[in-house]
Chains A and B, each alone.
Chain A
Amino acid sequence: MALLSLRRVTKRYPGVTALDSVDLEVDGGSVHALVGENGAGKSTLLRILAGAERGDAGLLELAGERLALANPRDALRRGITVIYQEFALVPQLGADANILLGMEPLRRGLLDAAAARERAGRALCDLGAGFDPSTPVERLSTAERQLVELARALVRDARIVALDEPTAALSNRESEHLFAQMRRMAARGVGVIFVSHRLEEVRSVADRVTVLRDGRRVFTGGLDGLDDRALIRHMVGRDVEYERTAGQGTCGDVVLEVRSLSRRLRFADVSFTLRRGEILGLAGLVGAGRTDIARCLSGADAWDGGSVLLRGEEFRPRTPADAIGAGVACVPEDRKAQGLVLSLKVRENAALASLRRFARLGVIRRGEEIAAVARQVNAVGLPADTLERTTGTLSGGNQQKVVLAKWLLANADVLIVDEPTRGVDVGAKVEIHRRLRALAAAGKAILVISSELPEIMALTDRILVLCEGRVNAEFVTADAQPESILAAALPGGEAA
C-alpha cells in the first residue's frame, strides 16, 4: 500500500479549477517526481499537502489513515513537510533555531540553546552540511538553506517530504548533493515528492513520475522506457482550444527594437523587434526572465546592458511615468498587487495614468473624465454600469479589462501584457484574446507573456522562447508545434 495517497482531490478558485479530481500515490522509500507546465496544479497540490490550503473535495490518506489537515502545523505534526521555493525560514534566527522552530528543547521552562545546537547540528551533519548550526540563516547560501529545510524535516521524523523546484537556484554540484540527500531520506523509508521542470533531473533522481495538466493527472508511471518526447507530449496535450487569431495581423513598421538587452542575474543578450499590428509572444517557464524584460521596458526596473529603440529613437525610461509618456505600458502579471488599486472605483483606476489630461489647475473635470473613461471602457467590452463600482468587486476578467482601458486611455502604443488571462474564466479569456487582437488590428504593437502554451499558440503571430534568461528559439506561430516550444523552454532542452 502506498504511504501517501490522494483520492480525487479537487480545488476550485473563482473562475478556475486548479485541481480536478487528482489521484496520487507516493510509496515510502521512493522519490516521486511531479511535472507539468506552469499552472498545471503542482503548487496547489503541494499547498494542500502542506495544510496551507484545503481541498474542496477528495481525501488524503497517510499510511492508511485519513487526514484532515486544518493548517500547516497539523501537516507538520502528521509528518508531512513541504519545502517551498521561497523558504519558510526566519532569516535573522540561527539555523538551529529555525530547524527546531515550534519544538524548541526546554530546560526548566527556558530555552536550552546547547541542546538545540546539538540536535540541529546532528541533523545538519547527517545531511553533509559543513556550517556552524548557529549561523543566522540570512548568511547562508541557497543550497545551505535548502539543507536547513531538509534538517527541519529530519528532526520532525517526516514521513513525506515534498520539494518544490529545489534546484532552480542551485549549481550542478549543489544539486547533486541535494539529490544524494533526497535518496538517503528515501532509503530510510521517507516518501519524497520532487517537483521539477528539468527532465534530466527527474530521470536521475526519481523512481516514478506523475504528470499534471490543467489540474488533472494525465500520467503516472515508472521512468524506465519513457523518453522525454513522450513526457513532453503528456505535459502539453491539447485541452483548451482557443480561437486562433494568429497570423491575421498585417504588420506595419517596426515600433520597438530591443538590442542585446541584459539585466544582471535576470536575462542576457535579448534581442527582438516588434511591429505595429503585431502580437509577439514571449514563452518560457516562470523565472526565465520574461517578466523582468517587461519590467525593464516599462520603466519599473533598469537594464544594465544593451539598448532599445522606440520608433527609431533611443528609449531608456527611468520611471514608469517616463515609459507611459513615451507610449509604452505594461499590464502586469499580478493584477491585484501591481495592476489596480482595488479600493478605487473603475473610473478612477481607468483614469489614473492620464489624469493630467482631465485636470485644469489640478482640479479634475469630472465630465471630461467620465466621457473619456466611458469610451475606453466600451472599447474593451466592460459594461457601462461598472464605471462607478469599486474595482475590487469585479471578476478577474473584468478587472483585467480595466487595466487595458487604463492604458488605452493613456494612449499607449506598445502594450506589454504579462499573463493576460491568469485567474480569468474561460469565456472571459476568449474575449480578452479578441480584444487584444482588435487592438493590434488598430495599430498597437503588443508583446504577450504567457505561461499557457495554448494561449501563446492562439494569440500570437511570432513566438520568442526564453530559457534561463536567454532567447533559446524563435518561431512563426503558424508553423510552430507546442512540443518544440516547450522543449526550447525547458532548461537543458534542445533548441528546435
Chain B
Amino acid sequence: MSARSARVAAARPRLAQVGVPLALAAMTVLAAAFVPGFLSPANLTTILLHTSINAILAVGMTFVIITAGIDLSVGSIVALGGVLAAKTLTSGDLLALVGPAGAAVAAVVVGLGVGAAVGTLNGSAVAHLKVAPFIVTLATMTVARGAARLVTGGVPVGYPDPGDAAYAQKVAALDLLHHVGGGRLPFPGLPTGFPAAALVMLAVVAVGAFVLARTRFGRYVYAVGGNEEASRLSGVPVPLVKLAVYSIAGACAGLAAVLLVGQLRSGGPDAGTFYELNAIAAAVIGGTSLLGGSGTAWRTLIGALLLGVLNNALDLLGVQAFWQEIAKGLIILLAVLFDVWVTRASAAAATREPALRGP
C-alpha cells in the first residue's frame, strides 16, 4: 500500500465521525446559496417542524437497529395510535367529563400507550419466541394498519361536523393538541416562533442520546448488538434488552402519532405510510449499522435533518415530488456505500496496527 493511500485509509475512520455532519453542512450551504428563500428563519424552523416526526421515529428505530434488529411496524403504529388518540380527544363523553385539557392529556396517554403496547408485543415475540424481527414487525405492521382502518371505517376521524352537539369543545381539544403538534412558541429573534414539535424532537433525541451513552441499559444495547453470545455469557439480560428496545420504538411511534394528530387536527387510518422506511433511512444515513453494535441518537437526528433539508430545498425549487423520491433514494445509497467504505478501511487499519505489548 502506498503512503498516500495508507494515509487516506487511516483518515477514513475519522471521516466517519464527521462525514455525515459535513454532508449536512454542505447541503445546507448549497441550498442557502442556490435556493431562494431557504435561509429565512421561517423556512429553517419549518424544516425542523417537518423533520420532527421522522426524527422521533428514527431515534426509536436507532435503539432497535443497534441491537441488530429492525422495526417495520412504526408507520402503522402512527396510524393506529393516531386514530385512537383522535377518538379519545374528541369523545363527547370524555369531553363532558374532563373538558378539553383533560381529553388532551388522555389522548397523549392513549397514543403513547398504544405505541408502547404494540412495541412490547413486537419485543416479546423477538426476545422470547425468537422470531426474526423483520417477520414479527411485518406482521404487526399489517395488523396495526388493519386495526386502524377497522376502528375508523377507513376514513379520518377527529374533526367534528359543524352540526355536532359538542362541536366547540371538540375543536377546542383539537386546538389544544395542535399547539404541541403544529404550534410555534415565541422565540427571541424568530418572528414566526419555534415549533413546539421540534422542541419535543430535541427532547427525545437528548433523552435517547443520554440513555444510550450513559446508562447501563444503553451499554447493554450496544453489547447485545455487537455480540449477543458474548453479552449473554457476561450476564447481560439479553431478552429484556431486546424487549425494551422494541417498546421504546413503539412508544416513540405513539408519541409521533399524537404529534401528527395535533398537526393535522385529525387521525387518519392511512397516516404514517412508509414512515418506517424514512425512519430507517434517517438512522442509516446517520451511520447506524444495520449489522448492529453502532449508532447514536445525535447522528440519527443529523440523518433526519439531512433528509428534511433535501426535501425542503427540492420543494422550494419546485422539483417534482417524483424526482424528490429518486434523490432521496440516491442519498440513502450513497450513505450506505460510505458506511461500507469506512467499515472496510477501519477493519484494514485495525489489522495493520502493531500489536501492543504489556510491560
Residues of A within 8 A of B (CB): 14-15, 298, 300, 319-321, 324-325, 330, 332, 337-344, 348, 351-353, 355-356, 359, 362-364, 366, 381-383, 386, 390, 392-395, 397-398, 401, 406, 410, 425, 427-428, 431
Q: What is the CA–CA distance of A390 and B219 in the complex, to the nearest angstrom?
A: 14
Residues of chain B lying within 8 A (CB to CB) of residue A359? 215-216
Nearest CB on A from B10, distance (A): 12
Which of B234, B237, B350 is within 8 Å of A352, CB to CB? B234
Residues of chain A lying within 8 A (CB to CB) of residue B226? 341-344
The answer on a CB contact under 8 Å between B216 and A364 is yes
Residue B214 interfacial (CB < 8 Å) = yes
Residue B236 interfacial (CB < 8 Å) = yes
Residues of chain B lying within 8 A (CB to CB) of residue A332? 233
> Which residue on chain B has the smallest CB distance to residue A320?
B233
The answer on a CB contact under 8 Å between A324 and B235 is yes
> Which residue on chain B has the smallest CB distance to residue A335?
B230
Which of A298, A340, A355 is within 8 Å of B230, CB to CB? A340
The answer on a CB contact under 8 Å between A395 and B234 is no
- Per the 8 Å Cβ criterion, residues 320-357 of B in contact with A are 349-351, 353, 355-357
Nearest CB on A from B85, distance (A): 29
The answer on a CB contact under 8 Å between A14 and B223 is no
Nearest CB on B from A190, distance (A): 39
Residues of chain A lying within 8 A (CB to CB) of residue B294? 343
Which of A319, A337, A427 is within 8 Å of B357, CB to CB? A427
The answer on a CB contact under 8 Å between A364 and B215 is yes
Residues of chain B lying within 8 A (CB to CB) of residue A330? 233
Most buried by B among A355, A381, A401: A355
Which of B219, B232, B359 is within 8 Å of A320, CB to CB? B232
Nearest CB on A from B137, distance (A): 24
Which of A15, A342, A364, A406 is within 8 Å of B214, CB to CB? A364
Most buried by A among B217, B230, B234, B350: B234
Residues of B within 8 A of A (CB): 214-217, 219-220, 222-223, 225-227, 229-237, 293-294, 349-351, 353, 355-359
Residues of chain A lying within 8 A (CB to CB) of residue B358? 381-383, 397-398, 401, 428, 431
Residues of chain A lying within 8 A (CB to CB) of residue B353? 393
The answer on a CB contact under 8 Å between A352 and B215 is no
Which of A324, A341, A351 is within 8 Å of B227, CB to CB? A341
Residues of chain B lying within 8 A (CB to CB) of residue A325? 235
**Further contacts, 14 of them, CB under 8 A, given A320-B234, A337-B229, A395-B356:** A14-B351, A298-B233, A300-B232, A319-B232, A332-B233, A337-B230, A340-B230, A343-B222, A352-B219, A353-B235, A363-B214, A363-B216, A382-B358, A398-B356
The answer on a CB contact under 8 Å between B230 and A339 is yes
The answer on a CB contact under 8 Å between B219 and A348 is yes
Most buried by A among B225, B229, B293: B229
Q: What is the CA–CA distance of A330 and B232 in the complex, to the nearest angstrom?
A: 12
16 contacts between A and B (CB under 8 A): A319-B232, A319-B235, A320-B233, A321-B235, A321-B236, A324-B234, A337-B230, A341-B230, A344-B222, A352-B235, A353-B234, A356-B216, A386-B356, A393-B353, A395-B356, A425-B355
Nearest CB on B from A237, distance (A): 28
Q: What is the CA–CA distance of A71 and B226 in the complex, to the nearest angstrom?
A: 30
Residues of chain B lying within 8 A (CB to CB) of residue A394? 356
Residues of chain A lying within 8 A (CB to CB) of residue B234? 320, 324, 352-353, 406
Q: What is the CA–CA distance of A406 and B225 in the complex, to the nearest angstrom?
A: 19
> Which residue on chain A has the smallest CB distance to residue B349?
A393
Nearest CB on A from B128, distance (A): 14
The answer on a CB contact under 8 Å between A352 and B231 is yes
The answer on a CB contact under 8 Å between B233 and A355 is no
Q: What is the CA–CA distance of A15 and B357 in the complex, to the nearest angstrom?
A: 12
Q: What is the CA–CA distance of A455 and B349 in the complex, to the nearest angstrom?
A: 32
> Which residue on chain B has the smallest CB distance to residue A397?
B355
Residues of chain A lying within 8 A (CB to CB) of residue B357? 383, 427-428
Residues of chain A lying within 8 A (CB to CB) of residue B359? 381, 383
Q: What is the CA–CA distance of A49 and B216 in the complex, to the nearest angstrom?
A: 48
Q: What is the CA–CA distance of A337 and B229 in the complex, to the nearest angstrom?
A: 7
The answer on a CB contact under 8 Å between B355 and A390 is no
Q: What is the CA–CA distance of A406 and B236 in the complex, to the nearest angstrom?
A: 13
Residues of chain A lying within 8 A (CB to CB) of residue B217? 362
Q: What is the CA–CA distance of A397 and B355 in the complex, to the nearest angstrom?
A: 9
Residues of chain B lying within 8 A (CB to CB) of residue A406? 234
Residues of chain B lying within 8 A (CB to CB) of residue A395? 355-356
Which of A319, A337, A341, A362 is within 8 Å of B293, CB to CB? A341
Residues of chain A lying within 8 A (CB to CB) of residue B351? 14
The answer on a CB contact under 8 Å between A393 and B222 is no
